[in-house]
A and B are shown apart, each in its own frame.
Chain A
């Protein structure tokens, strides 16, 4: 749908971002649903791949703001410290969008790799703040058997988010 008039253009932009928000709301619901796609203690992240897809398709600044919004959603749905994940996703989405724009082509393989790196980064940072810095010991096994597989699982499922976001992006095209 290519639109040109100013009013329709604004409407298209609003609808497109409403769709992105809807997707991330669904992702947040799935991510916090007990037992959904949970194997052992490994459960995939859904919010982060959606944020990264939006950041890659909508450029760094829009992606960063969207990441912050999604991070807040994550914080609230998981009962975490409000703002920490929001800040983390803001930075990660901004950086990922720039890296993809400068050095990578947008395809499934690259998206999976970017997701793997970002999931590992976010999960490891969280692990550092919540489990290592408080002084808990003997967590290497937990890291290797829960956190790393979780990042892998999330990365494998990430093309779903890419497909959804790409569909919305191509469905609501705004002609400058």
Chain B
């Protein structure tokens, strides 16, 4: 028995008991239910507990998901389908919005020239190597477009002409192309000239009105419109405004630098005038009833014709 009290195990046991007693005394004296070592232990174990909790919750969640996998997959499919429908609706909305805008523009243009026949077209292609703004539109011969048809912007300004026609697309040559002559007139002064592309100004999206009379009264800001002379372009289509008037090299005439009203390099939507001959012929060719007045008007040409 004596040996028992002297054994190491017993001493340790007593030491532990004293330690526990001391802990109880310390906790009681400080009025706290948890002792310091417990707090320390708790602080040390806390991250592991949190980790374990996360794992546990994860496992629990995984198990929960596993148990409910069918309903979750079904829900996922439903949401995917709903998402797809909403995306389709969004695309449809964008399309309708663009179409609506196009129809509004068309309506505005038709109000200006109700006798012309228009086809709405979107720009679908631009070649990076193209330097005069030529582009491809999404309407072709199947839609009634022919080579030479006149193209205007959605605000009614002249853009160019149809150069090539395919079944479902067409290529447009713009007024920035040198050699694309259009008979035009300064709206205010009725000074006539030939609108033509110019390599010097095309980079800035501008073109020139050539063969203006040297003593022209046209000034910067004057509006340029087509005359309809030659029958290739309808009359009174707006082109743009004068930016600058320069003397020609020979000194015999003047050149006006024109800022087209259409943003030719960036335009995305245009209208193709497929028929204006009926309208212009009804204007130009009078009926037999007013033949006399026609003869009178021939001898006294109108302002625009006088300049032409």
Contact = CB atoms under 8 A, between A and B. Distances in A.
Interface string B103-141: 000000000000000000001111111110011100000
Interface stretch (A28-36, A56-64, A106-114, A167-175): A28-36
B203 interface: yes
Nearest to B265: A41
B127 A131 contact: no
Interface stretch (A3-11, A17-25, A73-81, A96-104): A73-81
A45 B200 CA distance: 25
A138 B199 contact: yes
Contacts of A78: 125, 127, 129-130, 136
B151 to A, nearest CB: 14
Contacts of B202: 142
Given A34-B268, A79-B164, A126 B129 contact: yes
A142 B136 contact: no
B161 interface: no
B30 interface: no
Contacts of A131: 131, 199
B162 to A, nearest CB: 11
A77 B199 contact: no
Contacts of A130: 129, 131
Interface string B252-287: 000000000000011010000000000000000000
B264 to A, nearest CB: 11
Interface string B142-175: 0000000000000000000001100001010000
B199 to A, nearest CB: 5
B203 A43 contact: no
Contact of B126 (A32, A126, A137): A32
Interface of A: 31-35, 41, 43-45, 77-80, 123, 126-127, 130-131, 136-139, 141-142, 145-147, 150
Given A32-B124, A35-B268, A130-B129, 9 more contacts: A31-B127, A31-B128, A43-B126, A43-B128, A77-B125, A79-B127, A80-B127, A126-B129, A130-B131
Interface of B: 123-131, 134-136, 163-164, 169, 171, 178, 199-200, 202-203, 265-266, 268
15 contacts: A31-B128, A32-B126, A32-B136, A35-B266, A41-B265, A43-B126, A79-B164, A79-B171, A127-B129, A130-B129, A137-B199, A138-B199, A138-B200, A142-B202, A146-B131
